[in-house]
């Protein structure tokens, strides 16, 4: 729905000002056609482009220095880092004409409100995390907390936004920090388990590391739910070799017989939306309740029922000998998360199924102070960066290594946002005559084949 709304923006008094993507060899998207400026950087050069925009915002006085002095840290480091990214240098790196870059920066610098979006073209490209941080930076130079302004870091799936705050992607519920013992003790108390059983002794393990552990035998089982790693992972030959190894037990749970399900030892058929009841969270933090419309086919079960059934059969108990997951319905699980999220950034404590039924959704945080949800975050310029409250101490944008508490403490954010500066690093591989495909073209993002530049076709 959001792309459709964006595509129609220029029919109103508002304007879609500029749009950046590398899709130059095929027809423009509908959104790109309606943009005042369409930036087309070379694949993998997003950071260089964004650094160039930041350079111009500082140079031409379009960064709100007064607001920044009170509400952000890292300004001097960022300004020093982007100082080399002149329009001419950025044109060499990205192929975007210097005049277009200046036009885009002027639009950003003179607008009263700024709404930024990002999706897979950023997330699955070179320096993905660093690029997202630069998008945040551009907004933090004075356009956060205003009406009509914000950052929509959109995801490929509706549920990808909700699993982060509920702890389903290796993090912990309520945006808790695994390096903060107070946060981990809160979870232990809420779940009525011993502190040691909350797995907080190391950073969350990413899939690449999991595969390495599987290869050396440290992990003997992998439960794959709702994803297809034998298509989505990089280095597929290595991934297939490890996942198909008979010594590793693979359980695959989903709605299709995917390439990964085909090599699994056990396949559990799951339900899709419309066949189960549950909540979704939109890019603007709006929570909607989706009711079951039809019965699922065959033996398919909702993911929730599968996980609860597994917990019951395994006999997982709390300190009092009671089931650690005693819930029977989606609403009971939702009520449990309300307690987990209390006093966290994604506070659900005042949301109920009754409030969500028959309405247009509720935005988190929803508290006693904001019983119908908080429409706009950061209006007061205060951010969730207090060292005892923050979800993470951050990562090095070049190496990905987690930062220590001492390193984070040295920034002294104390409720101020953190500007993250980084240099552009070229992709390891770029299209050439021998390998002309990059796969990043409109309408081909989810296909099993790449597109080819016309000059090489």
Report how far residue 152's alpha carbon sits from residue 281's, in angstroms, rounded to the nearest whole number: 12
Same domain, 324 and 438: no
Residue 8 has pLDDT above 60, yes or no: no
Which tops the pLDDT comparison, 165 or 428? 428
pLDDT tier at 167, thresholds 50, 70, 90: low
* Residue whose tokens read 């480091």: 77
Q: What percent of the chain has a predicted confidence (pLDDT) above 70?
A: 86
384 domain-assigned? no
Between 23-32, 56-65, 121-130, the lowest mean confidence (pLDDT) is in 23-32
Residue 168 has pLDDT above 80, yes or no: no
Which tops the pLDDT comparison, 151 or 443? 151
Report how far residue 215's alpha carbon sits from residue 204's, in angstroms, rounded to the nearest whole number: 18
Residue 442 has pLDDT above 60, yes or no: no
**pLDDT per residue as tens digits for the range 130-149:** 999 999 999 999 989 999 89
**pLDDT per residue as tens digits for the range 256-276:** 999 999 999 999 999 999 999
Distance of CA 397 to the CA centre of its chain: 15
Report how far residue 315's alpha carbon sits from residue 282's, in angstroms, rounded to the nearest whole number: 35
- The pLDDT value recorded for residue 152 is 84
pLDDT tier at 253, thresholds 50, 70, 90: very high
- The pLDDT value recorded for residue 153 is 77
Q: What is the CATH number of the domain that holds 116?
A: 3.40.228.10
CB 68 within 8 A of CB 62: no
90 domain-assigned? yes
Same domain, 218 and 283: yes
**pLDDT per residue as tens digits for the range 39-54:** 999 989 999 999 999 9
Between 17-26, 143-152, 303-312, 322-331, the lowest mean confidence (pLDDT) is in 17-26
- The pLDDT value recorded for residue 434 is 85
3-class secondary structure per residue, the chain: CHHHHHHCHHHCCCCCCEEECCCCCCCCCHHHHHCCEEECCCCCCHHHHHHHHHHHHHHCCCCCHHHHHHHEECHHHHHHHHCCCCHHHHHHHHCCCHHHHHHHHHHHHHCCCCEEEECHHHHCCCCHHHHHHHHHHHHHCCCCCCCCCEEEECCCCHHHHHHHHCCCCCCECCCECCCCHHHHHHHHHHHCCCHHHCCCCCCCCCHHHHHHHHHCCCCCEEEEECCCHHHHCCCHHHHHHHHCCCCCEEEEEECCCCHHHHCCCEEEEECCCCCCCEEEECCCCEEEEECCCCCCCCCCECHHHHHHHHHHHHCCECCCCCECCCCCCHHHHHHHHHHHHCCCCCCCCCCCHHHHCCCCCEECCCCCCCCCECCCCCCCCCCCCCCCCCCCCCECCCCCCECCHHHHHHHCCCCCEECCCCCCCCCCCCCCCCCCECCCCCCCCCCCCCCECHHHC
Report how far residue 32's alpha carbon sits from residue 244's, in angstroms, rounded to the nearest whole number: 42
- The pLDDT value recorded for residue 449 is 46
Between 41-50, 56-65, 156-165, 184-193, the lowest mean confidence (pLDDT) is in 156-165
CB 393 within 8 A of CB 406: no
Same domain, 127 and 187: no
pLDDT tier at 35, thresholds 50, 70, 90: confident
Same domain, 204 and 193: no
Which tops the pLDDT comparison, 160 or 447? 160
Domain hosting 299: range is 200-363
35 domain-assigned? yes
Q: Enumerate the β-bridge partners of residue 222.
A: 250
Total domains, the chain = 3
CB 436 within 8 A of CB 428: no
**pLDDT per residue as tens digits for the range 370-417:** 999 999 999 999 999 999 999 999 999 988 888 999 999 999 999 999
- The pLDDT value recorded for residue 235 is 86
Report how far residue 193's alpha carbon sits from residue 209's, in angstroms, rounded to the nearest whole number: 28
Q: In this structure, what token pair is assigned to residue 133? A: 């941080």
Same domain, 311 and 177: no
370 domain-assigned? no
Same domain, 226 and 182: no
Report how far residue 170's alpha carbon sits from residue 203's, in angstroms, rounded to the nearest whole number: 9
**pLDDT per residue as tens digits for the range 212-250:** 999 999 999 999 999 999 998 988 999 999 999 999 999
Same domain, 213 and 342: yes
What is the average per-residue pLDDT within 267-296? 94
Q: Kind of pairing, strands 72-73 and 417-418?
A: parallel
- The pLDDT value recorded for residue 31 is 76
Same domain, 225 and 332: yes
Same domain, 34 and 138: yes
Residue 7 has pLDDT above 70, yes or no: no
Same domain, 335 and 228: yes
- The pLDDT value recorded for residue 29 is 74
426 domain-assigned? yes
pLDDT tier at 360, thresholds 50, 70, 90: confident
Q: What is the CATH number of the domain that holds 213?
A: 3.40.50.740
- The pLDDT value recorded for residue 158 is 58
Same domain, 226 and 293: yes
Residue 160 has pLDDT above 80, yes or no: no
Q: Enumerate the β-bridge partners of residue 290.
A: 278
Q: In this structure, what token pair is assigned to residue 312? A: 């019951």
Same domain, 185 and 82: no
- The pLDDT value recorded for residue 439 is 59
Report how far residue 307's alpha carbon sits from residue 96's, in angstroms, rounded to the nearest whole number: 49
- The pLDDT value recorded for residue 32 is 77
Nearest C-alpha neighbor of 411 from the set 393, 399, 384, 392: 393
What is the rounded average pLDDT for all residues in the chain?
88
289 domain-assigned? yes
- The pLDDT value recorded for residue 447 is 45
162 domain-assigned? no
Nearest C-alpha neighbor of 426 from the set 208, 125, 132, 133: 125
- The pLDDT value recorded for residue 455 is 44
Nearest C-alpha neighbor of 125 from the set 98, 96, 101, 94: 94
Nearest C-alpha neighbor of 364 from the set 129, 111, 156, 166: 166
Phi, psi of 103 (to 5 degrees): -65, -40
**pLDDT per residue as tens digits for the range 325-353:** 999 999 999 999 999 999 999 999 999 99
115 domain-assigned? yes
What is the average per-residue pLDDT within 179-195? 96
Report how far residue 249's alpha carbon sits from residue 266's, in angstroms, rounded to the nearest whole number: 8
Domain boundary among 363, 387, 418: 363
């Amino acid at each position: 729905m959001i792309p459709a709304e964006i595509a129609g923006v220029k029919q109103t008094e508002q304007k879609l000002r500029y749009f950046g993507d590398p899709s130059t060899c095929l027809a423009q998207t509908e959104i790109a056609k309606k943009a005042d400026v369409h930036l087309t950087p070379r694949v993998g050069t997003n950071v260089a482009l964004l650094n160039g925009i930041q350079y111009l915002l500082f140079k031409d006085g379009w960064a709100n220095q007064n607001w920044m002095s009170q509400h952000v840290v890292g300004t001097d480091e960022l300004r020093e880092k982007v100082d080399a990214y002149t329009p001419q240098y950025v044109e060499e790196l990205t192929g975007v004409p210097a005049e277009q870059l200046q036009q885009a920066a002027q639009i950003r610098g003179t607008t009263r409100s700024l709404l930024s979006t990002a999706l897979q073209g950023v997330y699955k490209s070179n320096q993905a995390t660093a690029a997202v941080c630069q998008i945040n930076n551009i907004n933090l130079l004075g356009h956060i907390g205003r009406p009509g302004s914000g950052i929509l870091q959109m995801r490929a799936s509706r549920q990808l936004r909700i699993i982060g705050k509920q702890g389903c992607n290796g993090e912990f519920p309520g945006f808790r920090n695994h390096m903060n013992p107070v946060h981990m003790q809160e979870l232990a108390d809420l779940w009525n388990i011993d502190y040691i059983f909350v797995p907080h002794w190391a950073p969350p393990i990413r899939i690449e590391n999991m595969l390495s552990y599987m290869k050396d035998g440290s992990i003997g089982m992998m439960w794959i739910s709702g994803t297809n790693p034998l298509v989505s992972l990089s280095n597929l030959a290595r991934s297939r070799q490890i996942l198909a190894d008979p010594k590793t037990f693979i359980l695959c749970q989903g709605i299709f017989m995917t390439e990964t399900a085909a090599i699994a030892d056990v396949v559990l058929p799951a339900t899709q939306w419309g066949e189960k009841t549950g909540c979704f969270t939109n890019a603007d933090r709006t929570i909607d309740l989706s009711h079951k419309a039809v019965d699922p086919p065959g033996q398919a079960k909702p993911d929730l029922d599968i996980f609860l059934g597994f917990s019951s059969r395994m006999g997982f108990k709390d300190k009092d000998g009671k089931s650690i997951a005693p819930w029977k319905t989606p609403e009971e699980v939702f009520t449990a998360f309300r307690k987990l999220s209390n006093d966290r950034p994604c506070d659900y404590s005042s949301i109920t199924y009754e409030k969500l039924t028959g309405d247009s959704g509720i935005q988190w945080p929803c508290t006693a102070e904001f019983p119908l949800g908080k429409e706009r975050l950061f209006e007061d310029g205060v951010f969730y960066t207090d060292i005892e409250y923050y979800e993470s101490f951050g990562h090095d944008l070049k190496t990905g290594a987690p930062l220590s508490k001492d390193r984070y403490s040295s920034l002294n954010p104390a409720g101020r946002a953190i500007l993250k500066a980084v240099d552009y690093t070229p992709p390891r591989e770029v299209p050439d005559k021998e390998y002309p495909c990059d796969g990043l073209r409109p309408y081909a993002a989810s296909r099993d084949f790449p597109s080819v530049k016309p000059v090489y076709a």
